[in-house]
Every structure is written in C-alpha cells, then in structure tokens.
Amino acid sequence: MPAIEYDSRVHVTRVADRRELAPGVILLGLEAPELVRATRPGQFVMAIPPAGESAATALGIYEAEGTRASLLFFITGKRTHELAELRVGEPLGLIGPLGNGFDLSSVPQRAAIVAGGVGIASVLLAAQALVRSGASVELLYGARTSELLVDAERFGEAGCELVLATDDGSRGRHGFVTELLGERPAPDLILACGPTPMLRAVGAIAAELGVPAQLSLEETFACGVGGCWGCVVPLARSSAQAPSFPPASRGGSDVVFARVCKEGPVFRSDELQW
C-alpha cells in the first residue's frame, strides 16, 4: 500500500450521544465536524482522557457523517473507563485523524471484511464506502459470545451480507471467524481488523486464495504519532510503506521496521514479515 499523507490536528469535541451496546462496550457519539471532513475509512484518533492524569489512547473512528463522528470501544483499563464515564455535553479532546486507513482506490466486485472483537470499530466506514461504490460486501464478524457481536445489524442496514461466528456457539458459526473465510467463495479483496492471531490467519488464507488483503493491526500505542517507535512491525524492504532506513536481516531476507501508528495501521498482508 502507498504511504498516504493526512491532516491531523487537535479537536475539541463534545459528547452528542452515548450508548452501552453490551456490558463494557461503549459507543460514544461526538460533535466533531472538522474531524468528520478529514476522516478516511480505517483511520484512528488519540483520545485524551479529560482528567489529564492518563496518556491518550488510540481508538478507531467508527462513524463519520454530517457533523457527528463516533468511537466504539471496549472498557479495558483506566483510560477507557474514564472515557466511558463521559456524558452528553461534556468535552473530549482528540488528536487525529491518524494513520493511513484502507486503500479503496480500486473497487472490487466482491469484498470480504473480517472483523474480530473490537476490530469491528475500524471497518464500518470501509464497508459503507465499498457498498456506495457498487461492491458486494460480506462482513465476517466473530466474537467470544453473541452479546459481544455488537452492532452487527448496522452493517446489514448498510448493505452488507452478515456471516457471524462465536467462540461459544451462541450465535452463528461455533468456532473462529477465519474458518468461515476459508469456506466462502473467494472475494476480490479482503479487509480485516482484529487480534493478531486472527490477522495472521486471514493473511495465510488470502495467500492460499491468491486474494489481496489489507490488514489493520491492533497495537498499543505510546505516542500514536510516530515519535517513540514503540509499535514497529517488520515489512518487506520493497514495500511502499517502508521507512527510508537501512534494512535488517530477518528470516533470510531484508526487512524494514515500520511504525504501526505512522506508516500503518493498515498493511498489505503479503508485505508483512511476521
């Protein structure tokens, strides 16, 4: 994927609406017109907990329409707990949009979007863009339980075909969502976001099928803007996303370490050397 320039800045937003989609899963709507105008599918923001005692945390931009953007997140620690306590009318500072996002410059006939757990938060805008462009879009969505398959119907309303899986079998396929990908008719393009083991499996299946895949990596960012180099992954030296540094040797080939927050978070699966 080519490197993409983006215009990020600090936004002072205000909470427009708040819903708890499942225990510990929050959808926070924000009045953020400038952020909406600048956002592309697959980008993220660094959200600044308002007490000023915790570092900013990276969250995918879930919705961006009109003057409203939203963040969908699971409560996993002190920072997300503080964000979950925000109520309508309260301010929230964001830095973004950040990252390259998905490359949707070529429109496939059939696209498969694979989402695992909180990875669903980064793929709605891509699904909507592909449907608008005329592509047939299938969402393969997996979670631990049916309760954690949050907002799946929203993708159906957007025009996606839903294919679901749960670890406990409480809804959809009993098993991993990646098993479904290997059983379905091969798409022309695969987009995916979720835990690393899922993304590795998606990359392997895409290679077997000979289908290009773009993987949005989930990583814990310290700075989120490329300053600390705490979130690197090895890329093929030939990648257009590879930083201009001397390559290292890994597995008998040259690799370059790229920052997930700066050059990513979306990478071509065939260029990741993990």
How high is the pLDDT of residue 5? 59
Q: Which residues contact 5 (CB under 8 A, 6 or more apart)?
A: none
> Whole-prediction pTM value?
0.92
pLDDT tens-digit series, residues 113-168: 999 999 999 999 999 999 999 999 999 999 999 999 999 999 999 999 999 999 99
- Mean pLDDT of the 233-258 span: 76
- Mean of all residue pLDDT scores within the chain: 92
How high is the pLDDT of residue 217? 95
- Mean pLDDT of the 249-269 span: 84
pLDDT of residue 91 exceeding 90, the answer is yes
pLDDT of residue 191 exceeding 60, the answer is yes
